[in-house]
A and B are shown apart, each in its own frame.
Chain A
Amino acid sequence: MDGEGEKSRQDIRALIAAHGTLAAGLVSAVQQITGRGAVFLAMSNSSLSLSDIQDSLARALDETGARVIFTDLPAGSCTMAVRKLMRARTDITLVTGANLPLLLDFAMQDDVDAVAAAHAALERGRVSMTAHGA
């Protein structure tokens, strides 16, 4: 699974696992808006089997100490891989359907435990989707 090797591991508070280059794009947007993109490690599922995604996520969790994983699609392979991982690792928090407002909120809560921050950010992500006009 593609990750960002040069990022300082101790800064990372959560993984973002998503399709294509979405995770990297979200981290880039968080960095541009808040300067806090370093709290995330972006990972892609491109060209990987379910078991390889699972192995890459497990390695990233071990290397970073992160316990929060954001994924894009509730039915996607990244989500499936995390759910499989969670069977053995009960300390992981998974948030699916992650969007930019949610990630921004999480990134700004650097004085709060990452799991608590993820739960708090969830509501921000949910209410951020609105429709305007006709």
Chain B
Amino acid sequence: MPIALYRIDDRLIHGQVVVGWGQPLELRFIVLVDDEVAASEWEQELYRMGVPPEMRVHFLAVDDAVAALPGFQSDEHAGIVLVGDIGTMTRLVERVAGTIRAVNVGGVHHSPGRTPRLRYVFLTAAEEEGLRAIERLGVEVTAQDVPSTRPVPLDELLHTTLDG
């Protein structure tokens, strides 16, 4: 079964992922791709705590995720690949060209230097270019925090500015 969602979310494993997407997509595993978390037993324990017992979690660095992705894609259950930032997703997409068809921008929150695009998406110019680079690799990029909202296409996202 193909991976159901490739998501960029700086909160990583949290309610929207586990409940908001997890239940309707019937997700049975999460592949959390993050070099830092993959090297930290303590952080892995923290995120494992947030996952229901019926869901598996795999913590992988980008290099290891590239090698493991075909195996996850042939899993009998639905799963999600989760990264914490646009740079990590860019690296992943570049390394597995043609495998990832769509990327979901689920949460890139406020930080100095970022422009507010949506309530849950704030981007620097470099991050915007990162998303464009992903799109240039043939990947559909949309922003969508939860399944019940409309996916916002990248071009529309980058032409949207929140007031205040």
Q: Mark A57-99, 1 if CB is under 8 A from B, else 0.
A: 0000000000000000111110110011001000000000000
> Measured between alpha carbons, how far is A80 from B13 in the docked complex, in Å?
9
> Measured between alpha carbons, how far is A76 from B47 in the docked complex, in Å?
10
> Measured between alpha carbons, how far is A84 from B42 in the docked complex, in Å?
10
Given the interface pairs A47-B119, A48-B109, the reply to whether A83 lies near B49 with Cβ below 8 Å is yes
Given the interface pairs A74-B50, A83-B46, the reply to whether A49 lies near B111 with Cβ below 8 Å is yes
Binds A, one of B14-22, B89-97, B132-140: B14-22
Decide: A47 and B110 in contact? CB cutoff 8 A. yes
> Measured between alpha carbons, how far is A19 from B145 in the docked complex, in Å?
14
Which residues between 71 and 114 of chain B lie within 8 Å of chain A, taking CB atoms?
A: 107-111
Closest to A74 in B: B50
Interface size class for chain A? 10 to 19
Given the interface pairs A74-B50, A75-B50, A80-B47, the reply to whether A50 lies near B15 with Cβ below 8 Å is no
Chain B residues closer than 8 Å to A74, beta-carbon distance: 49-50
Interface size class for chain B? 20 to 34
B12 in contact (CB, < 8 A):
yes
Decide: B18 and A75 in contact? CB cutoff 8 A. yes
In whole Å, how far is A69's beta carbon from the nearest beta carbon of chain B?
15
A52 in contact (CB, < 8 A):
yes
In whole Å, how far is A82's beta carbon from the nearest beta carbon of chain B?
10
Decide: B109 and A52 in contact? CB cutoff 8 A. yes
B10 in contact (CB, < 8 A):
yes
Interface centre among A46, A47, A83 (most CB of B within 10 A): A47
> Measured between alpha carbons, how far is A75 from B109 in the docked complex, in Å?
18
Closest to A48 in B: B109
Which residues between 27 and 52 of chain B lie within 8 Å of chain A, taking CB atoms?
A: 42, 46-47, 49-52
> Measured between alpha carbons, how far is A50 from B110 in the docked complex, in Å?
10
In whole Å, how far is A76's beta carbon from the nearest beta carbon of chain B?
4
Chain B residues closer than 8 Å to A52, beta-carbon distance: 109-111
> Measured between alpha carbons, how far is A80 from B14 in the docked complex, in Å?
8
Q: B residues bordering A, Cβ < 8 Å?
A: 10-15, 18-19, 42, 46-47, 49-52, 107-111, 119-120, 122
Q: A residues bordering B, Cβ < 8 Å?
A: 19, 46-50, 52, 73-77, 79-80, 83-84, 87
11 A–B contact pairs at CB < 8 A?
A47-B120, A47-B122, A50-B12, A52-B109, A73-B14, A73-B19, A77-B11, A77-B14, A80-B46, A80-B50, A83-B46
